[in-house]
Amino acid sequence: MIEGINRLECEVPSVVPVLLLKSTVLFPLQVVSLQIAMKQNLLLLEQHSSAEEVVGAGYFVDPDGSYGRRNLSSVAVACRVLSRIEMGHGTIQVVLQGLRRIRLTNTISSRPYFRARADGVEESKPGTPVERDLVVQVTQLLEDLVAIDPRYSDELVKVARLNLENGSRCADLVADTVQFSYAEKLQVLSTAAVPARLTLVAELLQREIARAAVAQEVKTTTELIIDRTQREAVLREQLEVIRSKLDELDPLETEITKLAERVEARRKADAKATLHSGRSATGTIMTFMPDTPCGPGTVVKAPWRGFIIATAAPAPR
C-alpha cells in the first residue's frame, strides 16, 4: 500500500493532454487495457510517446454525444501509458495506469486534441470511524452480491478486505470491479469526498443485489418451465414409441380390432335409428298380447322381453 500512496501523491502537471474515454472508466491505482481508435486520441499518443509522461484520462459526460468542451467531464484521472501496440486499421492497444484524481479547471484547446489545466483532488485522511463503518457495510454488501451473482468470485471479497483501512481505495476497487454502468462508475469517480463515495457505492451494490435476485428468480422460473415442457415432450415421444411397438406386435390383430370397433359403432347407430322411426325392415311393430296370432317374420313387442321376431304361427288350440 505504500507504493499506492506514493502514486496518489504524484506530481500533476499544470497543463495535461486529455485522452478521451467514452466506454471505460479508469480509477486511481487501477490498470486497464483498451483500444484507441479516435483520431484525436491517436494524435495525442503520437505526440506524447514517453511512458513516464503524465496524461489525463478524461470522460465524455454523454458517451453518445458529440466531441466538444460541453461534453467533457470536469473530473479526470492522471495516468501513464505503460504500453502501446499497433493493431492495424488505425487502432492502437494501450495499457493505462491510473495515478490519482484530477480536476480539469480550464480547457486550453480542443484541437488537435484536448489540453486543459488540471489540479489534484485532495482526499480526506483514511481511518475515521464513519469511514470504517461504511467500509464494513460495503464489504458486507459485496459478500452478499458475490453469494447471489455467479459472475463474481470470492477473490473479490478477499481483495476488498485487504483495503479495510483505506476507504477511498476500497470504494474505487469495488466500483472498478463490479459491473456498474459507465454513468454509475463516472459518478463514483466524480465523488471526491470518501464517505459520500462509500455511501454511493453501497447504494449501487444494493441495486445490483436486487437485480441479481430478480435475474436469479427469472432464471429459476424459466428452467422450471423448460423442464416441464421437455418432460412433456419426452413423454409424448415415449407414448408414440409404445403405440408403434404395439402395432408392430400383431398388425393383423390391430386391424381386426379397429374393424370390429367400426362395425359395432355402425350397428348401434342403425339400431338407434330404427327405434326412433318406429318401423322395422323385417315387419310391422305391434304390441304382443297372449291371444294375438303372429305370422312368420312379424316383429312384436313383448313388455317383458323387448322386441322379438315371430318365426312361426302359434299352434291352434
Average pLDDT for residues 154-174, to the nearest whole number? Answer: 90
Domain boundary among 120, 138, 167: 120
Report the pLDDT value the prediction gives residue 294, as an integer from 0 to 100.
Answer: 52
98 and 157 inside one domain: no
- pLDDT-derived band of residue 261, with 50, 70 and 90 as boundaries? confident
We report the CATH number of the domain holding residue 198 as 1.20.58
Residue 24 CA to residue 31 CA, distance in Å, equals: 11
- pLDDT-derived band of residue 216, with 50, 70 and 90 as boundaries? confident
28 and 113 inside one domain: yes
157 and 211 inside one domain: yes
Q: Would residue 248 count as lying in a domain?
A: no
Residue 48 CA to residue 46 CA, distance in Å, equals: 6
100 and 24 inside one domain: yes
Give the domain extent around 182: 129-216
Is the pLDDT confidence value at 127 over 70? yes
- pLDDT-derived band of residue 15, with 50, 70 and 90 as boundaries? very high
Q: Would residue 236 count as lying in a domain?
A: no
85 and 66 inside one domain: yes
116 and 152 inside one domain: no
- Three-state SS string over the chain comes to CHHHHHHHCCCCCCEEEEEEECCCCCCCCCEEEEEECCHHHHHHHHHCCCCCCCEEEEEECCCCCCCCHHHECCEEEEEEEEEEEEEECCEEEEEEEEEEEEEEEEEEECCCCEEEEEEECCCCCCCCHHHHHHHHHHHHHHHHHHHHCCCCCHHHHHHHHCCCCCHHHHHHHHHHHCCCCHHHHHHHHHCCCHHHHHHHHHHHHHHHHHHHHHHHHHHHHHHHHHHHHHHHHHHHHHHHHHHHHHHHHCHHHHHHHHHHHHHHHHHHHHHHHHHHHCCECCECEEECCCCCCCCCCEEEEECCCEEEEECCCCCCC
Instruction: Pick the more confident residue, 217 or 87.
Output: 87
Q: Would residue 228 count as lying in a domain?
A: no
- pLDDT-derived band of residue 311, with 50, 70 and 90 as boundaries? very low
Give per-residue pLDDT as tens, 41-89: 999 999 998 888 999 999 999 988 888 888 999 999 999 999 999 998 8
Q: Would residue 234 count as lying in a domain?
A: no
108 and 156 inside one domain: no
17 and 113 inside one domain: yes
Report the pLDDT value the prediction gives residue 163, as an integer from 0 to 100.
Answer: 84
Domain boundary among 199, 216, 233: 216
The residue with cell 471505460 is 24
The count of domains in the chain is 3
Give per-residue pLDDT as tens, 199-215: 999 999 999 999 998 88
**Could you give the C-alpha distances from 280 to 121, 136, 270, in angstroms and in order?**
111, 98, 11
Instruction: Pick the more confident residue, 118 or 302.
Output: 118
Residue 35 CA to residue 83 CA, distance in Å, equals: 12
Report the pLDDT value the prediction gives residue 282, as an integer from 0 to 100.
Answer: 46
- pLDDT-derived band of residue 278, with 50, 70 and 90 as boundaries? low
Name the average pLDDT for the chain.
82
Report the pLDDT value the prediction gives residue 228, as an integer from 0 to 100.
Answer: 74
Q: Would residue 235 count as lying in a domain?
A: no
32 and 56 inside one domain: yes
139 and 187 inside one domain: yes
| Residue among 87, 73, 77, 94 at smallest CA distance from 22 | 73
209 and 108 inside one domain: no
Q: Would residue 42 count as lying in a domain?
A: yes
141 and 102 inside one domain: no
Average pLDDT for residues 261-272, to the nearest whole number? Answer: 83
Domain boundary among 71, 92, 120: 120
